[in-house]
Structure 1
């Protein structure tokens, strides 16, 4: 039906929606999906609907304190994160405004360790504690529905025996706990078994279309389907990673993407389609025109590939190993974090 509407009318319709409705409308048709991620509409939408977007930068200053600061994207407001406890360690973020953080500040937040928070509205809600005696390795949050709010949190931790042996076969084992906001409880799955000496890589997991993805050190991709709660592994688009200087999962127009830099300095951008088939959408060489390079930089910065302070106006990054980065997007509407009242 929307194909009968011109783009100007479609943009006017989308600009009058809420952030929740915008995300829902992007799934109704290819035309609306393409417009939803167009830079022109995104900039207009942020201004008209008071949307904040950018990157959360967490710094470990080699003490018990963690410094969390927000680096806004172009045209976005700045949000002050100083209300968080002094030792709050952000574990995961979503593009629906919700983050997960961990703290041991018992004076301010009681005996709980894990919390969900909407940073833009300063709403904080304690979660039941997972098995915190096991060292956390990866945390991801995925929003499955925005009204009423429904989300799941996946926590991977190393058991006391990180490398296990069964029938002479070695494997890397992770404990997996899943928090479901509808049951308000954690559920322990069976051990997640990966090939021997294979681990999820940095940075943070990518969430797209109901699934969580992590790039593994053997160049394969680990997938968690948040609806079925089933883990699977599939191939990345690059079979031989030795010909590439850099590889990383990215989020490209709402879908899972894969960015890799060749040894000759050029870049490849791939997008995952149906049946987990990869499609190469762009190759950027050193001699590309200005617009192509600008587009690459937009993809680069929006997916947390940060090498120095040039990406941020307020944060200077001198040693990337001391920082963690989380993409953040939110409105300023209060949210019932339990999902019961919306």
Structure 2
């Protein structure tokens, strides 16, 4: 007697994989293009969250009278988180999609030196980490998870040194210090080489976006700064044509299906999504989607 062992792909995805762990789901994205598209789809995501009771959402942080407060917004309408288990004077400095937060505990009544805390709101675990050199102005702080079993993460802080610009034979440059905290050694170090930008350029203030362990952010000259947290190296690369044109503005880096993406406005008429594709080591930008705002407004009015 012959028995069929061919299980439909949708059964494997929605009845088996949707009941596994996030690590398993992450590995399954690499099986084939169709699985990757389905797993990143909203139908699978909602089913996975429901069956595994995974907490999904984000914190919104507000400031009032120099005091910060955070509110958790749940994506599956069933999760409630707060930071009440932490000390009172808490400000979120960075976060990861795996649910880790880097917080700054500033209690003026005790000390003017902040205390940095790593926490996981889902388990209410927290621990202090070594303080960076706070006499330097912080330009940007980011955190990235490099492994889940065992958990390993890095925190990267860019700050302005005492002399933020230098001049040598090659010209004048803006410089930033780079400090890295590694959970593997539970230590903080300052990289020996400063990050250097052409004169007049530096990091923007928007949050960094992490893809495959690389942190990305805009520079003030519409270029992209990338820091490889594993190798602790950085590079700056230009946006592709036509994104460098004046018609493209209001740019925001995002993560799209595990890749670096960019959302931008075009002449205030439409919104576009561009995604980085890697072909044999060559970085290529592809326009994935375009939405006409005028057409959408007309449809909503009708």
Pair 1:103 & 2:95 matched: no
The number of residue pairs the alignment matches comes to 289
Aligned to 1:39: 42
- After TM superposition, the structure 1 stretch with the greater mean CA deviation from structure 2, 28-37 or 148-157, is 28-37
Which digits, 9 at most, give the CA deviation of each residue in 1:219-246, with x for residues without a partner? 1111111221110111223443421241
Aligned to 1:314: none
Structure 1 or 2: larger strand share?
A: 2
Aligned to 2:277: 273
Aligned to 1:178: 180
The alpha-carbon deviation at position 55 of structure 1 amounts to: 2.3
Structure 2 vs 1, CA of residues 112 and 20 (structure 1 numbering), >3 Å: closer, same or farther? farther
Structure 2 vs 1, CA of residues 233 and 284 (structure 1 numbering), >3 Å: closer, same or farther? same
Structure 2 vs 1, CA of residues 76 and 101 (structure 1 numbering), >3 Å: closer, same or farther? same
Higher Cα radius of gyration: 2
Residues 140, 205 of structure 1: 8 Å contact kept = yes
- SS of the residue 1:120 aligns to: coil
Aligned to 2:239: 236
Residues 70, 82 of structure 2: 8 Å contact kept = no
The alpha-carbon deviation at position 6 of structure 1 amounts to: 1.5
Aligned to 1:331: none
Structure 2 vs 1, CA of residues 123 and 216 (structure 1 numbering), >3 Å: closer, same or farther? same
Which digits, 9 at most, give the CA deviation of each residue in 1:254-299, with x for residues without a partner? 2110110011420110001102211111111125569x99xxxxxx
Unaligned 5+ segments in structure 2 are 1-5
Alignment of 1:190-229 (within 5 A): 190-229=193-232
Pair 1:9 & 2:12 matched: yes
Structure 2 vs 1, CA of residues 288 and 148 (structure 1 numbering), >3 Å: closer, same or farther? farther
Instruction: Give me the whole-angstrom Cα distance separating, in 2, the residues matched to 1:97 and 1:282.
Output: 29
Which digits, 9 at most, give the CA deviation of each residue in 1:46-83, with x for residues without a partner? 111122222211112132x2111112225452312233
- What root-mean-square deviation, in Å, do the aligned CA atoms of Structure 1 and Structure 2 show? 2.6
Aligned to 2:157: 155
Instruction: Give me the whole-angstrom Cα distance separating, in 2, the residues matched to 1:28 and 1:149.
Output: 24
Pair 1:283 & 2:285 matched: no
- SS of the residue 1:259 aligns to: strand
Aligned to 1:146: 148
Instruction: Give me the whole-angstrom Cα distance separating, in 1, the residues matched to 2:152 and 2:69.
Output: 29
Relative contact order (alpha carbons < 8 A, sep ≥ 6): 1 or 2 greater? 1
Selected match of 1:22 from 25, 43, 50: 25
Pair 1:78 & 2:85 matched: no
Instruction: Give me the whole-angstrom Cα distance separating, in 2, the residues matched to 1:210 and 1:85.
Output: 30
Residues 70, 81 of structure 1: 8 Å contact kept = no
Unaligned 5+ segments in structure 1 are 294-342
Structure 1 or 2: larger helix share?
A: 1
Aligned to 2:124: 122
Residues 219, 241 of structure 1: 8 Å contact kept = no
Pair 1:53 & 2:56 matched: yes
Structure 2 vs 1, CA of residues 60 and 174 (structure 1 numbering), >3 Å: closer, same or farther? same
TM-score computed with the length of structure 1 as normaliser? 0.77
TM-score computed with the length of structure 2 as normaliser? 0.87
Residues 269, 294 of structure 2: 8 Å contact kept = no
Instruction: Give me the whole-angstrom Cα distance separating, in 2, the residues matched to 1:245 and 1:230.
Output: 28
Which digits, 9 at most, give the CA deviation of each residue in 1:290-328, with x for residues without a partner? 9x99xxxxxxxxxxxxxxxxxxxxxxxxxxxxxxxxxxx
The alpha-carbon deviation at position 31 of structure 1 amounts to: 3.3
